[in-house]
């Protein structure tokens, strides 16, 4: 059974951590749109060079270019047993284009897993992050606090809250995610591929829930 997985979830839900654990257990690659775009640009592939012209001028890379780059990536031998798409698709239009692309390759999405976390919990996780101005070390005022408040354990540099980690910025990011992704969740629900996992608790417990979902899907 192939494990062709789409991982959905808002910023701060722990999606990246779970994707890494899935990669280690099932030996399938985690495919992040940002990573493969950068890789295609670095390798100067035809689609990578096309993407670069948009990126250099600060524009969004068009869907057809992104889909083409993802198609190239999915043809690699390490995707034979499956793959985890992280950060793509972001819209229903992209999801439909992905389905068409996979169909031509004789593949399909087997699992759409949505990691759900309450917005206030996401804010607690994301606004608590602190970064050292000197060495870049990361701390969290609740989950990984420094020994001395506001001071880096490693180099005694000043800890600060990045603009990206401020409440207003995070609320905006969550709003954008919700606007884009609500229709996407509906899309995969109609296809009976969506499984929602509660992303609160120990990392290992959340991973166990995902394993159970994959087991259910494989048995059905």
Residue 218 has pLDDT above 90, yes or no: no
* Contacts by 12-16, CB closer than 8 A, 24 or more apart: 12/117, 12/122, 12/125, 12/126, 12/170, 13/115, 13/116, 13/117, 13/122, 13/199, 14/115, 14/117, 14/199, 14/203, 14/206, 15/86, 15/115, 16/86
- Condensed to tens digits (0 to 9), the pLDDT of residues 25-72 reads 999 999 988 788 888 889 998 988 988 888 888 777 888 888 888 888
Pick the catalytic residue: 38, 124, 171, 173? Answer: 173
Whole-angstrom distance between the N-terminal and C-terminal Cα of the chain?
11
Give the pLDDT of residue 16.
86
Q: How far apart are CA 122 and CA 9, in angstroms?
A: 11
Q: Among the ranges 14-18, 77-81, 157-161, which has the highest mean pLDDT value?
A: 157-161
Over residues 170-175, the mean pLDDT reads 91
pTM reported for the whole predicted model: 0.83
Give the pLDDT of residue 146.
97
Give the pLDDT of residue 200.
93
Over residues 94-122, the mean pLDDT reads 94
Q: Is 162 a catalytic residue?
A: yes
Cis previous bond, 33, omega within 30: no
Give the pLDDT of residue 173.
87
Residues in the chain: 220
Q: What is the mean pLDDT of the chain?
A: 91
Over residues 97-112, the mean pLDDT reads 93
Q: Is 90 a catalytic residue?
A: yes
Q: How far apart are CA 186 and CA 200, in angstroms?
A: 22
Pick the catalytic residue: 20, 25, 103, 162? Answer: 162
Residue 219 has pLDDT above 50, yes or no: no
Q: Is 130 a catalytic residue?
A: no
Pick the catalytic residue: 38, 52, 90, 209? Answer: 90
């Amino acid at each position: 059974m192939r494990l062709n997985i789409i991982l959905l979830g808002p910023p701060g839900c722990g999606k990246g951590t779970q994707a890494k654990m899935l990669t280690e257990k099932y030996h399938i690659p985690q495919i992040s749109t940002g990573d493969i775009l950068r890789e295609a640009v670095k390798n100067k592939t035809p689609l990578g060079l096309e993407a670069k012209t948009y990126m250099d001028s600060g524009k969004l890379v068009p869907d057809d270019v992104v889909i083409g780059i993802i198609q190239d990536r999915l043809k690699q031998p390490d995707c034979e047993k499956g793959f985890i798409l992280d950060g793509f698709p972001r819209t229903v239009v992209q999801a439909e284009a992905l389905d068409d692309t996979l169909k031509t390759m004789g593949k399909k999405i087997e699992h759409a897993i949505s990691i759900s976390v309450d917005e206030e919990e996401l804010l607690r996780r994301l606004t608590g992050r602190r970064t050292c101005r000197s060495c870049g070390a990361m701390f969290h005022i609740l989950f990984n606090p420094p020994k001395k408040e506001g001071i880096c354990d490693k180099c005694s540099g000043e800890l600060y809250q990045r603009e990206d980690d401020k409440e207003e910025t995070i609320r905006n990011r969550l709003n954008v995610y919700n606007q884009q992704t609500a229709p996407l969740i509906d899309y995969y629900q109609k296809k009976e591929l969506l499984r929602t996992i509660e992303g609160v608790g120990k990392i290992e417990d959340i991973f166990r829930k995902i394993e159970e979902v994959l087991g259910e899907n494989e048995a059905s």
